[in-house]
Structure 1
Amino acid sequence: MRLVRTLRGRLVVIAMVWCGLFLFATGFSLQTMMRNYWQEAEADGLRLQLYDLLSRLEIQPDGMPVVTEPMADPRYRQPYSGYYWQLELGETVVSRSRSLWDAHLSAHGLKSAFGDPDLFVGKGPNKEPLLIMTRTVLLPGSDRVFTLVMAKDSSALTQTLKKTRISLFLGLGFAATGLVLGFMFQILYGLRPLHLLRRELSRVHQGHQEGFRLRYPLEIQPLVEDINRLLHHYGELLQRARSHTGNLAHALKTPLSIMRNQVTQLPPEDQAALGEQLDQIQRHIDYHLGKARVTGAAKILGVSTPVRARVEYICRAFSRLYPGKTVDLQVPVNLAVGVEEQDFDEMVGNLLENAFKWSASQLRISSAELGGWITLRIEDDGPGMSEDQIAKAVLRGVRLDEKVPGSGLGLNIVSDLAEAYRGSLIMGRAELGGLAASLSLPKVARVE
């Protein structure tokens, strides 16, 4: 069933079924034609021998026929040669060939052969298969009706038909093999553009090229051009959306900074209330700006980010902020994920910031591959979180700690970004005793 689910499999099955039906019909027709040809040839041969025998018969004064000259074929004179003739008057055998010796032929009750009422299939003196022809004749000079019986060994005809059938089937078998191979080559050659299209799409998805570059057959080229236009359109939309997001963030940053400076000039009791509201505004702005970036990320094609290189870069930055922390990095060099570099840095940066911030002295970063996914696991030896805190950690709008400033997005945005790439973020207990964050992202071609 899996073969029939592919275009190649369907075309191969259809070609094989059609080829089988065509060759079966061809073989049956050719076999019938050859059998009829050989049977008619045998019947014509017997008929000629019968006419030759008739020409050699003469009526004696007593009204009985005799053969004036022996048959030209010497096998009619050789005992039990398989070639026989016999002349009957009613139930009485008047004359017979010397090849019959003391035996006689009988066509009564025999099965008709080849659909000819004068042809029958019988047995000879030595039980050999015979093809028998009978003809009722009224000889000149006689008022009696005689029956002339001619017989011939049909085993040679059977062997000829058998050999012809074998040769025919062998020939048709070779023809079927050639046709199937030809069909398969035709199918593979015809579907090759789809294979190239799929390979180019994979390169686009992995970020090795921005669109389709090859020229395809006229039936496919319009679709390829439409896809290229669609990719270009989405790329422009994404860049425009991110540009607007950056502009909005920059436009809001200055007024908020001014407001914070103004708050410091207020009485202490007013500073706490207004400062809390400004922090709330900042969190809402960061959250919704992050959501805008997540929406753009969901439409990205053709991106690829090397995992280890970016993790090392982020770790170096945090090692300067949090000195004295040991990082055990267990990530292969050649892993890459289908995530934009900025989004990857945002997700991993938030997770590593939490790990560096709360770890006592040690972090472990490892990776695992499963199917088309890469899971990056970040563990620390800090205090960790309770089961209730873990359940709430990635909920929308919930922060791990309100007292310590984070990177701006929080775990909820990390989770949303991961989901935008069809990935996931799972929090749990680490073997080191602290928190473990498992980030699953789509895998792309390895970075060499």
Structure 2
Amino acid sequence: MRLVRTLRGRLVAIALVWCGLFLFATGFSLQTMMRNYWQEAEADGLRLQLYDLLSRLEVAKTGLPVVTGSLSDPRFNQPYSGYYWQLELGRDVVGRSRSLWDTNLKSDGLKSAFGDPDLFVGKGPNKEPLLIMTRTVLLPGSDRVFTLVMAKDSSALTQTLNKTRISLFLGLGFAAAGLVLGFMFQIVYGLRPLHLLRRELGRVHEGHQEGFRLRYPLEIQPLVEDINRLLHHYGELLQRARSHTGNLAHALKTPLSIMRNQVAQLPPEDQAAIGEQLDQIQRHIDYHLGKARVTGAAKILGVSTPVRARVEYICRAFSRLYPGKTVDLQVPAELAVGVEEQDFDEMVGNLLENAFKWSASELRISSAELGGWITLRIEDDGPGMSEDQIAKAVLRGVRLDEKVPGSGLGLNIVSDLAEAYRGSFIMGRAELGGLAASLSLPKVARVES
């Protein structure tokens, strides 16, 4: 049997099973109690009629019993009324009610009824179901033992039991509906704090708030407070680590500048060798600064960056450096990604810088949504790259054109940052004829200001 995987499903399943068992036991018990009540009532009524008949029996001079007076129930005098009595001596019928007319009741081989040794079920003159009570009697003035048989139509009892059973089932059905609704309300109300917690977690993850603000039940509140402390502590550690990395880069910048100035005073043959090593040091610094931003980036909660606004900002900056380039921006204003703004600018900035640098005259920037991801596609009409060049372009420190200034780390950092956010970065041929760079990042709801 497959287990229910949700708390709501488990609680509903438990409630339904418990409700079903409870109602089944209740219905069975009530039905048994009511059946016993009506059966005992019928047996008592039949017993009273038997005693009424017994009180009116006298032994005649012939030695046979006769009925003096009339019974209290006139139906014993109506033919085939369903109320009968019969007096037997051995196997012979020595007396009977007028309601039997010219027939006799079968009193031997009867099936016991209700667990009472004196009660039986049988058939009447018209094949109607009968409840039969027998009693052996010894009448005053006679030494012979007679058998008194008293019977009544039991179809009314059956109809009463059926009506009672239907009413019981209807009542239990309404009770079941009420219990299920009550259980559902209890489950929804009881699980509401978890629903609010999940919604708050989504808002934290999408950048709407920095931590959990609501007060929760005592069973959940300690966990919420621990998560808030963990988020705060983790944010401080990450900020401190990035600050230390930036300080280290700033501290190395001045010595490197001094060394470059000193190298400029050396003979040309020495400048090339030492300058190459200084460039290598600078590339390492740039690379590890990029890695420092990548570290922990995908685990940051509460970040959100509007895509179009940042792309427009970066395009304006590069349009001043590379005038005369047309940009076709096809990105909706409401799109936002779960990426820190600095990391987003780093990735898109590197891609747009290459597109502006190598395009002939036109760039196209479009977006697509698929599931929980946004793919930003940047195309240009430049010379493009071959498959081998694309494979080499994302390697650390590789520069495909040594004449163009740069460290060769841009596309590698883009790839590392995209992977850190569990996204992807691929390049291929653009419809404009140049290079197409596709950057997929996690989507979040746009934070409205």
User: TM-score normalized by structure 2?
Assistant: 0.97
Q: Distance in 2 between matches of 1:117 and 1:192?
A: 61
Secondary structure, aligned partner of 1:443: strand
Secondary structure, aligned partner of 1:439: strand
Secondary structure, aligned partner of 2:238: helix
The aligned residue for residue 240 of structure 2 is 240
Secondary structure, aligned partner of 1:363: strand
Secondary structure, aligned partner of 2:19: helix
Q: Distance in 2 between matches of 1:324 and 1:138?
A: 131
Q: Which moved more, 1:236-245 or 1:329-338?
A: 236-245
Secondary structure, aligned partner of 1:3: coil
The aligned residue for residue 397 of structure 2 is 397
Contact 1:135/1:149 (CA < 8 Å) preserved in 2?
Answer: yes
Secondary structure, aligned partner of 2:296: helix
- Closer/same/farther in 2, CA of residues 208 and 433 from structure 1, 3 Å limit: same
Q: Distance in 2 between matches of 1:86 and 1:392?
A: 114
Contact 2:398/2:409 (CA < 8 Å) preserved in 1?
Answer: no
* CA positional deviation for 1:116: 1.3
Q: Distance in 1 between matches of 2:63 and 2:256?
A: 142
- Closer/same/farther in 2, CA of residues 16 and 347 from structure 1, 3 Å limit: same
Contact 2:207/2:447 (CA < 8 Å) preserved in 1?
Answer: no
- Closer/same/farther in 2, CA of residues 399 and 45 from structure 1, 3 Å limit: farther
* CA positional deviation for 1:19: 0.3
Q: Distance in 1 between matches of 2:408 and 2:182?
A: 63
* CA positional deviation for 1:392: 2.3
* CA positional deviation for 1:407: 7.4
Q: Which moved more, 1:153-162 or 1:108-117?
A: 108-117
Contact 1:83/1:151 (CA < 8 Å) preserved in 2?
Answer: yes
* CA positional deviation for 1:398: 3.3
- What's the % identity of the aligned pairs? 93
Residues 147-196 of structure 1 deviation map (CA, whole Å, 9 limit, x = unaligned): 11111111110000000000000100100110011001000000000001
* CA positional deviation for 1:400: 4.1
- Closer/same/farther in 2, CA of residues 244 and 35 from structure 1, 3 Å limit: same
The aligned residue for residue 84 of structure 1 is 84
Q: Distance in 1 between matches of 2:107 and 2:165?
A: 29
* CA positional deviation for 1:241: 1.1
Q: Distance in 2 between matches of 1:300 and 1:407?
A: 28
Q: Which moved more, 1:66-75 or 1:106-115?
A: 106-115
The aligned residue for residue 11 of structure 1 is 11
Contact 1:399/1:410 (CA < 8 Å) preserved in 2?
Answer: no
* CA positional deviation for 1:446: 2.6
Q: Distance in 2 between matches of 1:94 and 1:149?
A: 12
The aligned residue for residue 352 of structure 1 is 352
Contact 2:304/2:446 (CA < 8 Å) preserved in 1?
Answer: no
* CA positional deviation for 1:132: 0.7
Secondary structure, aligned partner of 1:4: coil
Q: Distance in 1 between matches of 2:312 and 2:407?
A: 18
- Closer/same/farther in 2, CA of residues 362 and 407 from structure 1, 3 Å limit: farther
Aligned length: 448
Q: Distance in 2 between matches of 1:183 and 1:444?
A: 35
- Closer/same/farther in 2, CA of residues 3 and 362 from structure 1, 3 Å limit: farther
Contact 1:335/1:447 (CA < 8 Å) preserved in 2?
Answer: no
Secondary structure, aligned partner of 1:311: helix
Secondary structure, aligned partner of 2:320: helix
Q: Which moved more, 1:402-411 or 1:130-139?
A: 402-411
Residues 251-297 of structure 1 deviation map (CA, whole Å, 9 limit, x = unaligned): 11111111112222222222222221111111111111111111031
Residues 103-143 of structure 1 deviation map (CA, whole Å, 9 limit, x = unaligned): 11112112111111211111111111111111111111111
Contact 1:234/1:299 (CA < 8 Å) preserved in 2?
Answer: no
* CA positional deviation for 1:2: 9.3
Secondary structure, aligned partner of 2:4: helix
- Closer/same/farther in 2, CA of residues 228 and 325 from structure 1, 3 Å limit: same
* CA positional deviation for 1:51: 0.8
Contact 1:328/1:365 (CA < 8 Å) preserved in 2?
Answer: yes
Q: Distance in 2 between matches of 1:43 and 1:278?
A: 114
Residues 199-228 of structure 1 deviation map (CA, whole Å, 9 limit, x = unaligned): 111111111111111110000000000000
RMSD of aligned residue pairs (Cα, Å): 1.4
Q: Which runs of 5+ in 1 are unaligned?
A: none
Q: Distance in 1 between matches of 2:3 and 2:167?
A: 33
* CA positional deviation for 1:299: 2.8
Secondary structure, aligned partner of 1:66: strand
Q: Distance in 2 between matches of 1:82 and 1:32?
A: 26
* CA positional deviation for 1:399: 3.8
Secondary structure, aligned partner of 2:127: coil
- Closer/same/farther in 2, CA of residues 425 and 166 from structure 1, 3 Å limit: same
Moved over 6 A (4+): none
Does structure 1 residue 293 correspond to structure 2 residue 293? yes
- Closer/same/farther in 2, CA of residues 61 and 103 from structure 1, 3 Å limit: same
- Closer/same/farther in 2, CA of residues 385 and 101 from structure 1, 3 Å limit: same
Q: Which moved more, 1:280-289 or 1:404-413?
A: 404-413
Q: Which runs of 5+ in 2 are unaligned?
A: none
Q: Distance in 2 between matches of 1:111 and 1:400?
A: 105
Contact 2:304/2:447 (CA < 8 Å) preserved in 1?
Answer: no
Contact 2:335/2:446 (CA < 8 Å) preserved in 1?
Answer: yes
Q: Distance in 2 between matches of 1:407 and 1:129?
A: 105
Q: Which moved more, 1:265-274 or 1:333-342?
A: 265-274
Secondary structure, aligned partner of 1:447: coil
Q: Distance in 2 between matches of 1:24 and 1:101?
A: 47
Q: Distance in 2 between matches of 1:402 and 1:118?
A: 116
Contact 1:84/1:152 (CA < 8 Å) preserved in 2?
Answer: yes
Contact 1:353/1:407 (CA < 8 Å) preserved in 2?
Answer: no
Q: Which moved more, 1:390-399 or 1:57-66?
A: 390-399
Contact 1:380/1:434 (CA < 8 Å) preserved in 2?
Answer: yes
Contact 1:304/1:336 (CA < 8 Å) preserved in 2?
Answer: yes
- Closer/same/farther in 2, CA of residues 96 and 422 from structure 1, 3 Å limit: same
Q: Distance in 2 between matches of 1:280 and 1:129?
A: 109
User: TM-score normalized by structure 1?
Assistant: 0.97
Residues 361-393 of structure 1 deviation map (CA, whole Å, 9 limit, x = unaligned): 111111111111111011111111111111222
Q: Distance in 2 between matches of 1:323 and 1:173?
A: 79
Contact 2:399/2:408 (CA < 8 Å) preserved in 1?
Answer: no
The aligned residue for residue 222 of structure 1 is 222
Contact 2:343/2:417 (CA < 8 Å) preserved in 1?
Answer: yes
Contact 1:329/1:364 (CA < 8 Å) preserved in 2?
Answer: yes
Q: Distance in 2 between matches of 1:324 and 1:3?
A: 64
Contact 1:399/1:411 (CA < 8 Å) preserved in 2?
Answer: no
